[in-house]
Amino acid sequence: MKGKNLSVAQLLYKYRQLLILAALCIFFAAALPGMFFTMSNFRSILYSMSLYGLMICGATFPVLLGGIDRTVGAVAALSGAICCMIIVNSGYTNQGVVLGILAGVGVGMLSGIIHGVIVAHFDIPAFLLTLATSQVIYGLVQVTTGKELIVVMKPALFTDIGAKRILEIPVPVYVLLICFIVAYFLLNHSTYGRRIYSVGGNREASKLSGINVKRTTITAYMMSGMMAAIAGIVLSSMNQQALSYAADGYENDVLAAIVVGGVSLRGGAGTLQGAIFGSLLIGMLNNGLRLMGVESIYHNFIKGIIIIAAVAADMYSSYQMSGLKHRGGKKHPHKQAAGENQ
Amino acid sequence: MRQEMLRRYISFGLLAALVLAFSLTSEFFFTSNNIYNLLRESSIVGILAIGITMTIITGGNDLSCGALLGLDAMVISRLLYVNEANVWIAITAALAVSLLGGLFNGFLVAILRIPDFIATLSSKFVFSGLTLMFAIRSATGMITTKTLSDPTIKWFGGKLDFGLYYVTIAFFALAILSQFLLKNTRLGVHTYAIGSNRNSAELSGISYIKTKFAAFVMSGFCAFVGSLFFLGKIRAADTESGIGMEFQAISAAVIGGCAFTGGRGDVVGTVIGVLFLKVLENGVLKFNLSTEMQKVLTGSVIVIMLVFDAAYNKYMQAKTSKSAVIAREKREKKVGAQ
Amino acid sequence: MMHNPENLVEMRGIDKRFAHVYALKSVDFEIRRGEVHSLLGENGAGKSTLIKVLTGVYPKDGGEIYFDGKPVEINSRDDAFNLGIACIFQELSLVPTLTVAQNIMLGKEKAKLGVLQKKSMNREVSELIKRFDFPLRAEDVVETLSVAQRQMVEILKALSTNASLIIMDEPTASLSSKESEMLFRIIGQLREKGVSILYISHRLEEVFQLSDRITVLRDGQLVGVVPKEEIVPADVIRMMIGKELSEATASRPLKVSDAHTVLQVRNLTRLGSFEDVSFEVKAGEVLVLAGLVGSGRTEVLRSVYGADPIDSGTVLFEGKPYRHSVSTAIRLGFGLIPEDRRTQGFAPLLSGTRNVAVTNYDKLSRLGVVNAKKEKQLGETMVKLVDLRPANPTVPVGNLSGGNQQKVVLGKWLTRDLKVILIDEPTVGIDVGAKDEIYNFIEQLAARGVAVLLVSSDVAEVLRVATRILVMRNGKVVHEFNDGVVTQENILLVSSGMAEDHRTEAKE
Amino acid sequence: MKKIIALMLIMLLAFSFAACGGSDNGGGSGSDGSQAEGIFRDPKKNPYSDELKIAWIPSDAPAANCVAWGAGIERELSYWSNVTFNTFDGERDAEKQSSIIQDLIVQEYDAIILQPYVSSTVAVAVEDAEAAGIPVICINIDADSPHSALVAMTDYEAGYAIGVEMAESVGGEGNFVVIQATPGATRGENLEEGFQAAIANYPGITILDEQTGEWNSEKANAVMTDFLTKYDSIDGVFCHNDQMAEGAATAVQTAGRLGEMSIWGANGEAKALEYIEQGLMTGTVYTDCYDQGATAARLAMMFIGGNLDTSQFTQTLQIKMPPIVVTSENVASITEDMRW
């Protein structure tokens, strides 16, 4: 059987995440005529999810390896702080901005490399390690900024990153798009991505197939640190400031989006587009609930129920689809993840 | 078994080293008042951690128990303050909410087959959402928090004459009970079996669904007990009470030897883990450090501890695997000689 | 229908479908009291499905089951258990973090009000262990035990239920021959006590040694039931696969090749694993490391491959030393088929293509970018090369049968320019047909001039493929069979240390 | 500014005597003699010579206002060489603050300056500290149990003043939206109550929508963007702190609707003042956090050296910092050294 002639059920299954999004869209569009289904509203959804999206583009890498990176929020704060400090010290020049961005991203990558080295060389639960180090990093941010609020309202080169629109689309959305394409390309079309899936799928087998597991791990955390750092710079530009507790708690939302998007926490299964779907789902819910004028206090409850419904539907379809495996049809790797995760 | 014991000694040794270090550097650390206070601080997180240990041993996790604790506390506060209910009715209601919360998690994980992490993350949203919806409102409709004055609630925050808090007694009692439950009862063995190798456990006739439900209900029950003492201590429930406590509890369980893959760890380890975290947190306050250095120090000590533990483990494994080979060779020789 | 009172179990017209595909089609099957009954068939013939129907893991879609002459419905494992059906599964089904006693008593713990009676359980298990004289302790944690020991626990677990029918699915797959013999003795004891055994194995010689009767399945249908005395192995194989196989030889002529030396190992030592191991492998040779499980062969293989460190000694590839790492070894043209394919061989969630491509990205990519077309082609090439079934390289490897999984692991190396292939127990848990295919691959590789270093505990296998044989015992090479004719007996005697003067025996 | 402080101290002394009296009257049920002795005690320590330890527990140490309060306290305490000053971060966690106080009791601190995150959740710990003889001075937000003193930023009044300003600016007719604090935070509650009370006087004003921005700039930005999508006409937006107002202002600016509505925050942090100067924000309520902190520190020293047994207080002394409504007209009067 060739992969191409999929049955209707398999097609539906393949695009189930899009279907869930579409269903939600239709619901909100019906409930909010002329308001939800507009260009400007989608722009605002994309704008507000761009930070999460950026972090997801990085944080998915360690999760695919079976690890986790809870430092994304802290790294974002650190890179934002360093970037802003450099801009201020350079006298708000454009060179300062370039230097600041490079330094911020560099620090993010460095932090990722350090985490990668520790995780790769010692068998430490990454969850706990990154929980502890994110505390350390937030401490370092406070040391860096001297606990001052660092305001950077010029030059335009910096503030444009967060606020400017090109062709009616805000710059952060472009940044997200570029980072998504880079990460997508790496995961799906590069040998590096193949190695990530392989190591996440079976570490020992990968090692025996000549994959340098340590290097793969270190670079995965480096990617996570780098993307978080980019997110941090975008965040500080959006807010025109560096705040020593910026992006606090973002890691929870990022991980929630990743797992809702069907990436297995055991590694080796799931896709980046799935993870982005997760954050779109959550972003759209936030937006739709606000537009419907639902009081803030009900948001958490409704979000929880809808996430459960979406994930349960996903699980149910996986379960139903698993009956097809005896036909030898094309299988989505995610389905397996669902089974493995039981 | 021997290796497990060794690990236990190591984590206990690290805890002792930390206590010693703080005792030598601060005159306030090793005082009876501080010890009782420290134990009190450890106890609420510890009670949650006991529940989480159960769920982690089954190969799962419970990110929702902190939010559930907050919900219980809010239910009690609301019933007492707004509805002016009898305190025991309020407590019973909270118990019911907790058990329902545990059943809900069990339903998501065991029946709907949602992976634990996503399931309990979602139910964390649900529970914290319910807490907000239950919250006490002022006349203008704003959410407000109120201090409770009920004597029963106050009792939960009380202590024995010599200074030991009731909550600590409850913590250790619950710890001993659940350790017994894990190690000496049928349910306990089944909990390990499901977490360690679900397939073979099921082939041996152990119900995955029942065991999962039991673990989550235990976790819910621990959240309930925790909420009583939380209210006893704070005497008010705010909309974010308990949230985030689960991370400390999970950290404690993992430091104590639980593995997310399941089947490993026990309550004694978790208690050591909780004490380690809280001794660290408490000790760091004793130095005249700036807030950022407090953070850096706390995080760094945990990282160093993890690295030390992992490195030592690696070393021991290399050593024991060699001795295991030698032992096996001896055995083969014996078999061969027959 | 007439019921034979001698029958303990009768299954009549059993159907089982998976998504419209018949896994079993009106299969009749019966087991008498106190007999050892073997169930044979290639992988996918329906053996496992039949057992799972019998033990209540799968519900049947049609047919009846009679137990002790009475019709029964077996809907869950509990039902089977209550009837007295115990099962030792092919994949070890123990709980690694529990003790031997806890595992044996799992699901049937002795408890008062839910509180375990640990002492009495431990005592009971200790007695059980003593009865069969296994090298085990009741308090040992299972994950610290060797594979063979775990198998023993598995057997004890089934025995402890006082079952009237014990199903053994590949029980000897990871046992050394000594341990297997011990198991056969136990099976004999059980038969005398009137316990029925349903025995499933790919090792025909075992089947013929043990069974009273043999049932053969093919493609989910019954081919025939025959008493052992009335049939010879070649017939059974013909029934299983419908074609004739060359009879596995009982002996094999060996010879030293005069090709150039590819791999040279000198005084290799890894403390605690093996000591002072020296040998050479020449191009086109199949050098077998024979011996008992745990004699250090796997460790030698891994060390040569660069996966494990060495303490002293040298390894030369084509006369030159090389950096001790896996990636260097692969670049030089090494390949490894590891011991346990599940944990070391492949990533179960990934497709066949992805698994095979892992070792080939040096050819499938430029500047780190994967050429998806080439990758796909590789997958298709692999399918043809190894005759993968189903012939679809996009199926996650975890969903394939054991034999096909092993073919994928083999496929990782076949498209490479191999110089040396290190193979570790390649046919454990694989059906006869696939086994033969794998032997053919090994022979083809050797014919291409690849130096093959093979670890095997299956003596028949050793004799099937070896050109030279080294026997290891307790981490040392104790004997080398270089030329002449070697027999199964020779190898077994040397492996177990019962023949002191092996050289003369070997040269007979 | 110095004059204001001096005035306040005088007011405070007056207050304290009133409070003592109040306490005497209030505690009539107890034995009179012990009450009189109870409210006075010998000073435990000499504030000029003994080694003293004073703690500052903000709700969120890195936040701009908390930093400013801390700086004010530190500046004041630096005049006393015998005082050790230390900060403990409440990490926006109501229970954490309570735990820290319990620990400071063990460490025998001499005074605690506290900015509660939630009034009620610190009540028990504050009570315990007072019972242990440690005066607790709250900044900005009161604790629910009586304690030594409160130096309040008068959020209710600030909310009220903003409500009046906003309503007046549109002539009592218009549509407002509110971006709220995290639900349950006491400060947001007070601001909201004051704001609502003011708006109640203007029947022509409609509050279209209220959503939480979780104290957070980028989240407020998202909330405001949604408000802008939803409502074609918004005349004013009130945010419970300046961070959120800044985020809202950016959203309004990006949407190109800056002239349409007034944007108000509360706090008066330096960046908000700059936004007001640039015309991005309409106004905020400024409090001199340095002074507020310094006042709290002085109170702490006074209680340490004084002969009042603060644990006997049945009512908390209150010093109210006047809320200064800042708009583009008067923003220049807040000089650089007063900004934080």
What would the pLDDT profile of A321-337 be if each residue is shown by its tens digit?
Answer: 654 433 333 333 333 33
Subunits next to D (3 or more Cβ pairs <8 Å) are A, B
Q: What is the pLDDT of residue A337?
A: 34
> Does 3.40.50.2300 match the CATH number of domain D155-286?
yes
Interface of chain B against chain D, CB under 8 Å?
A: 28, 31, 33-34, 37, 40-41, 132, 135, 138, 140, 142-147, 157, 230, 233-236, 238-241, 244-245, 282, 285-286, 288-291, 294-295
Q: Are residues C465 and C500 in the same domain?
A: yes
Q: Classify domain D2-153+288-322 at the CATH topology level.
A: Rossmann fold (3.40.50)
Helix (H) or strand (E) run with residue C214 in it: strand C213-218
Query: Across chain C, what does the average pLDDT equal?
Result: 82
At residue C340, the pLDDT reads: 81
Task: Considering only the beta carbons, identify the residue of C345, C370, C398 that sits closest to A194.
Answer: C370
- pLDDT 10s digits, A90-149: 998 999 999 999 999 999 999 999 999 999 988 788 988 999 999 999 999 988 888 778
Which residues are CB-contacts of D311 (< 8 A; sequence separation ≥ 6)?
D130, D131, D133
DSSP calls for A28-96: HHHHSTTTSSSHHHHHHHHHHHHHHHHHHHHHHHHHHTT---TTHHHHHHHHHHHHHHHHHHTTS-HHH
Nearest to C339 by CA among C308, C315, C317, C316: C308
| Beta carbons within 8 Å of C33's beta carbon, 6+ residues apart | C6, C7, C8, C164, C194, C196
Task: Give me the interface pTM, i.e. the ipTM.
Answer: 0.83
For residue D259, what is the DSSP state?
G
Residue pLDDT, tens place only, C199-221: 987 677 788 888 899 998 887 88
Strand partners, C27: C14
How large is the average pLDDT for residues A247-266? Answer: 87
**Domains in chain C, number:** 2
Query: How many CB pairs (< 8 A) connect A and D?
Result: 85
**Percentage of residues in chain D having pLDDT higher than 70:** 89
Among candidate residues C186, C213, C241, the one where a domain is terminated: C241
Residue indicated by tokens 């194989």: C237
Output the CA angle C243-C246-C247, nearest 5 degrees.
115
3-state secondary structure (DSSP) of residue D282: coil
Average the pLDDT over C136-163 and give the result.
80
Quote the pLDDT of residue A340: 33
* DSSP string computed for B2-61: HHHHHHHHHHHHHHHHHHHHHHHH-TTTTSHHHHHHHHHHHHHHHHHHHHHHHHHHTT--
pLDDT for residue C502: 42
Q: Which residues contact C17 (CB under 8 A, 6 or more apart)?
A: C23, C61
Residue A139: closest C-alpha in chain D: D62
Q: Are residues B86 and B98 in the same domain?
A: yes
Chain A environment of B129 (Cβ under 8 Å): 297-304
State the pLDDT confidence band at C496, using cuts at 50, 70 and 90. Answer: low
| Predicted confidence band of residue D19 (pLDDT cuts 50, 70, 90) | very low
Statement to judge: residues B194 and B325 lie in one domain: no
Q: Is A212 on the interface with C (CB under 8 A)?
A: yes
Q: Label residue A259 left, alpha or beta by phi (over 0 means left) and psi (-120 to 50 means alpha).
A: alpha
> Which residues in chain A touch residue B126, judged by CB atoms under 8 angstroms apart?
300-301, 304-305, 308
Quick one: pLDDT at residue C457?
78
* Secondary structure of residue C280 in the 3-state scheme: strand
Q: What is the pLDDT of residue D12?
A: 53
CB C231 within 8 A of CB C58: no
Instruction: Pick D13 or C508 by higher pLDDT.
Output: D13
- Which residue ranges of chain B lie beneath pLDDT 50? 1, 335-338
Instruction: Give the span between the Cα atoms of C22 and C15, in whole angstroms.
Output: 7
Name the band, by pLDDT with cuts 50, 70 and 90, for residue C250: low
Number of domains in chain B: 2
Query: Is pLDDT at C132 greater than 90 in this prediction?
Result: no
Least CA distance to B206: which residue of chain C? C107
**Pick from A293, A290, A299: nearest CA to A44:** A290
pLDDT confidence band for C184 (50 / 70 / 90): confident
Domain boundary among C184, C211, C241: C241
Q: Which residue did the predictor score with more confidence, A236 or D21?
A: A236
Do B190 and B320 have their domain in common?
no
User: How does pLDDT run across C417-465, given as a tens digit for each residue?
Assistant: 889 999 998 887 777 778 888 888 898 889 888 999 999 877 778 888 8
Tens of pLDDT, residue by residue over A4-43, are 556 777 777 778 888 888 888 999 999 888 888 888 888 8
Instruction: Judge whether C355 lies within some domain.
Output: no
Residues composing chain C: 508
User: CB-CB: which of B125, B298, B299 is closest to A300?
Assistant: B125
Domain shared by C166 and C38, yes or no: yes
Domain of B294, in residue numbers: 288-338
Domain hosting C426: range is 258-333+418-433+456-508
Give the domains, in start order, of chain A with CATH numbers.
Answer: 8-337 (1.10.3470)
Residue A87 CB burial class (10 angstroms; 0-12, 13-18, ≥19): buried
Domain CATH code at residue B124: 1.10.3470
pLDDT on residue C79? 82
Beta-bridged to residue C454, according to DSSP, are: C288, C423
pLDDT of B102 = 96
Q: Which of A128, A111, A125, A114 is nearest to A77 (CA)?
A: A111
- Same domain, residue pair C143 and C227: yes
For A10, other C-beta atoms within 10 Å of its C-beta total: 18
The answer on B208 and B70 residing in a single domain is: yes
Which amino acid would we find at residue D2? Answer: K
Q: Report whether pLDDT(D34) > 80.
A: no
Chain C neighbours (≥3 Cβ pairs under 8 A) are: A, B
Q: Choosing among C330, C342, C344, C349, which should be mutated to test the A contact, i.e. which has the most A CBs within 10 A?
A: C349
Strand partners, D174: D205
pTM of the model as a whole? 0.85
CA distance A176 to chain C (A): 22
Identify whether residues B297 and B252 lie together within a single domain: no
The minimal CB distance from B241 to the residues D61, D94, D144 is found for D94
Of the three residues C216, C241, C266, the one that is the final residue of a domain is C241
Domain presence at residue C384:
no
Instruction: Write the pLDDT tens digit of every residue in D77-124.
Output: 998 889 999 999 888 888 889 999 999 999 999 999 999 988 888 999
Is B1's Cβ below 8 Å from some Cβ in C? Answer: yes
Judgement on whether residues C100 and C137 belong to the same structural domain of the protein: yes
Residue C310's SS3 state is coil
| Domain identity same for B158 and B298 | no
What CATH number corresponds to the domain at position C303? 3.40.50.300
What pLDDT was estimated at residue C173? 67
The vertex-A169 CA angle with A78 and A232, nearest 5°, equals 5
C101: closest chain B residue by CA: B189
